[in-house]
Amino acid sequence: MSIQRLKGRHLLDIESLTREEIELILDTAVPFKELFTKSVKKVSFLRGKTVVNIFYEPSTRTRTSFEIAEKRLSADVVNIAVSTSSVKKGESLLDTIRTLQAMKADIIVMRHSCAGAPHLLAKRLDVSVINAGDGPHAHPTQALLDMFTIREKLGRIEGITVALIGDITFSRVARSNIWGLKKLGAKVRIIGPATLIPKDIDKLGVEVFYSLEKGLKNVDVVNILRIQRERQKEMLFPTIREYNRLFGIDETTLTAKNVLVMHPGPMNRGIEISDYIADSPQAVICEQVTNGIAVRMAVLYLIAGEGDLNEIND
Ligand code: CP
């Protein structure tokens, strides 16, 4: 597929991408990851382009990863601290972003607590918008880096079984992973308490399990999700201790050593994942973070980059 395919476009969710476009992004991330082994980890594909990162919600991984990716592509990078911006004086989201567009930004990377906020901007503005997570809706670059990591570790995605465990209702990571993994031919299982699984989730073609014992049988990958207490308006399970007892992944609930363990972070150790599992050789949580930079470089390059990928090896 031509690398022109995503030029000038937005990345708002995985649902809007074709299988070929997802594969193009994953394939493009491979040479960018190879760049990380070199002493100079920088290329000039985004020289002269301005990327603005605006995060209305807290973030460690995604914000830093985008900034590193942008700098490794030689973009001019601007980070807006919402807490010290005119947002605090009552400026609307649209006016803030219109202001950034007037400053001739080429790409806006945005995280927002409202589902659909990046889609609204993409409709109203003529700058490329990358969704860095919108409420419980979508986190496309997280799903892309998760798929990249699975493909790198297992050699394929078609036909494998991936279990997403925990708070599915409030998880944008779960939704984006389901769309992506299904498009690439994986079997997807959802495991968690009924109160944290949306009623119609099976319409997305996933199998639902309310017990770890049944759901973990013959899986290839587990992707363990955090309880998003900041989004829950009421307590949806009796106690954290009870949740950990029934759905926590530890050495007694996950005994198969060949299952790949993933977590998008931030982890709550002792709740959804034990120290033993998080630090075990089967966990690829830190590699997910490294891969996130390569995948985000690929996305930025495909949307706004100039130049040939072969330059990486010159
Ligand atoms: N995985 C993820 O989105 O982490 P941050 O909230 O730290 O960006």
Give nearest CA residue, ligand 1 atom 5: 59
pLDDT in tens, 163-203: 999 999 999 999 999 999 999 999 999 999 999 999 999 99
62 Cα: distance to centroid of ligand 1 (angstroms): 5
Give the residue numbers annotated as catalytic, written as ranges.
61-62, 89, 111, 139
* Nearest-atom index, ligand 1, CA of 111: 8
Closest ligand 1 atom, CA of 65? 8
Q: Where in the chain is the domain with CATH 3.40.50.1370?
A: 3-138+292-313, 140-288
Give the whole-number percent of the chain exceeding pLDDT 90: 85
- Of residues 235 and 19, the one with the higher pLDDT is 19
Q: What is the homologous superfamily of the domain 3-138+292-313 according to CATH?
A: Aspartate/ornithine carbamoyltransferase (3.40.50.1370)
Q: What is the pLDDT of residues 8-24, one digit of tens each?
A: 999 999 999 999 999 99
Determine the CATH number of domain 140-288: 3.40.50.1370
pLDDT at 253 over 90: yes
Kindly state the average pLDDT of the residues 290-301: 98
Check whether 268 has a pLDDT greater than 80: yes
The predicted pLDDT at position 234 comes to 67
| Predicted local confidence at residue 227, as pLDDT | 87
Asked whether the predicted pLDDT for residue 236 surpasses 70, the reply is no
Averaged pLDDT for residues 151-155: 98
**Measuring CA to CA, which residue among 290, 300, 297 is closest to residue 146?**
290
Query: 3-state SS of the chain?
Result: CCHHHHCCCCECCCCCCCHHHHHHHHHHHHHHHHHCCCCCCCCCCCCCCEEEEEECCCCCHHHHHHHHHHHHCCCEEEEEEHHHCHHHHCCCHHHHHHHHHHCCCCEEEEEECCCCHHHHHHHHCCCEEEEEEECCCECHHHHHHHHHHHHHHHCCCCCCEEEEECCCCCCHHHHHHHHHHHHCCCEEEEECCHHHCCCCHHHHCCEEECCHHHHCCCCCEEEECCCCCCCCCCCCCCCHHHHHHHHCECCCCCCCCCCEEECCCCCCECCCECHHHHCCCCECHHHHHHHHHHHHHHHHHHHHCCCCHHHHHC
pLDDT score, position 86: 81
Of 121-125, 284-288, 309-313, the one with minimum mean pLDDT is: 309-313
Percent of the chain residues topping a pLDDT of 70: 97
Residues with CB under 6 A from ligand 1: 59-62, 133, 139, 142, 264-266
Residue 42 pLDDT more than 70? yes
The answer, yes or no, to whether residue 261 has pLDDT greater than 80, is: yes
pLDDT-derived band at 314 (thresholds 50, 70, 90) equals confident
Ligand 1: centre distance to CA 59 (Å): 5
**Distance from Cα 2 to the centre of ligand 1, integer Å:** 30
Q: Is residue 130 scored above 80 in pLDDT?
A: yes
**With 80 as the cut, is the pLDDT of residue 3 above it?**
no
Instruction: Output the pLDDT for position 231.
Output: 63
Q: Which of 55, 57, 62 to mutate to test the pocket of ligand 1 (most atoms within 8 A of CB)?
A: 62
Mean pLDDT score, 22-43 = 96
- Specify the pLDDT at position 81: 83
* For residue 125, pLDDT beyond 80: yes
